[in-house]
Amino acid sequence: MAKFSTDHLTPQPWPRGWADGYLMLDLLNHDPALLDLSALRLHECVPAGIGDNAHLMPALVDLATTPTDVQRTLLIHAWQSAMRGDPPFICAWLQSPASMQEVSSHLASCLTGTDHAEGHALWRFYDPRVFIHMAWLLRPAQLHALFGPCEQWGFAWAGDWYQLARPTLTEPAPTLPRPWWPDAAQWPTVQQTADIEQVLARAAGQSKPSLAHAPTVDRALRHADEALHLTLPADRRHYATHVAAFGQPFEDQPKLQAAWPAVAAGEMTLRKALGLLSSDDWELMKIMAQHARQISSERHHGHVQR
């Protein structure tokens, strides 16, 4: 599997105002008691052939035609919602020179595609809890195509504000019918973004989730499914949480290495395998993990002593 990086995904100061651009809203997460939408002109992003599922689609608001006081209310709501950890209603701020119709049509076309198993899929890429992971999973050409006419894409994740510019292509754009769509190798990550989010939150405890762990968690979840054959989602998340918390010391632990074949064969549960570890084993893994994080941080900041 490719080694993914989240280094380009760093929090930025929250915007002080939204004078222009478009907001992408998820009306399924709207609480009328918290925000009155009567002053907003909503433009739904509805792909062709969606049928009775039109109510599940996101909507756009043109900030240029939205009164200043309403713009301010929307920004405050976005910040307060992010601080509370609410399901995102204001999913993205999009800056684009294109018309609302052009932006809406493009985003609508990105919502549907194949599940790579001869079926159709609805891709909620606009949800920040999904988009943050697509930003490290997708290739630059895919992300460029997903942005379409949008030049900037801002969104909130884990209480912080992120803003990405449309990637610059260094080679000709692909000529695929849907060049933004995740390929078959990427699709399992799309399907398990909710699990990735749960594991990141669980591994963080009382701290903020670390996005840097996301590719590792994705890999661990796949390993739990494909190599260890853990059938229960809770077991897969439990395994991935330990990988996120302890890293290589957990994955290389000798007692666990000896137990994994029995787990994969269904002869031993994950709980029983973890029960083979003593308190000293757990403490050693904790010390080794802390040391590994310290070394990694020093190398990242160029402070390694020689």
Where are the strands (E) in 17-64, listed by range? 22-25, 42-44, 59-62
Q: Are 12 and 79 in contact (CB under 8 A)?
A: no
Q: For the chain, give every domain's residue range.
A: 22-177, 192-300
- Give the Cα separation of 155 and 161 in Å (integer): 6
Bridge partners for 120 per DSSP = 114
Rounded CA-CA distance 166/130 in Å is: 17
Question: Coil, helix or strand for 139?
Answer: coil
Distance CA 37, CA 18 (A): 17
Q: Backbone phi, then psi, for 231, in 5-degree steps?
A: -85, -25
pTM reported for the whole predicted model? 0.91
Amino acid (one-letter) located at 276: L
- What is the per-residue pLDDT across 6-23, written as a single tens digit (0 to 9) for each? 999 999 999 999 989 999
Pick from 303, 201, 283, 190: which is nearest to 244 by CA?
201
Give 232-256 pLDDT, tens digit per residue: 999 999 999 999 999 999 999 999 9
Sign of the alpha-carbon torsion through 82, 88, 89, 94: positive
How confident is the prediction along the chain (306 residues), in pLDDT tens digits per residue?
Answer: 456 889 999 999 999 999 899 999 999 999 888 888 888 999 999 998 787 777 889 999 999 999 999 999 999 999 999 999 999 999 999 999 999 999 999 999 999 999 999 788 999 999 999 999 999 999 999 999 999 999 999 999 999 999 999 999 877 767 788 999 999 999 999 999 999 999 999 999 889 999 999 999 999 999 999 999 999 999 999 999 999 999 999 999 999 999 999 999 999 999 999 999 999 999 999 999 888 877 766 665 565 443
Residue whose C-alpha is closest to residue 179's, from 146, 150, 147: 146
Q: How many residues does the chain have?
A: 306
The values of phi and psi at residue 163, to 5°, are: -140, 120
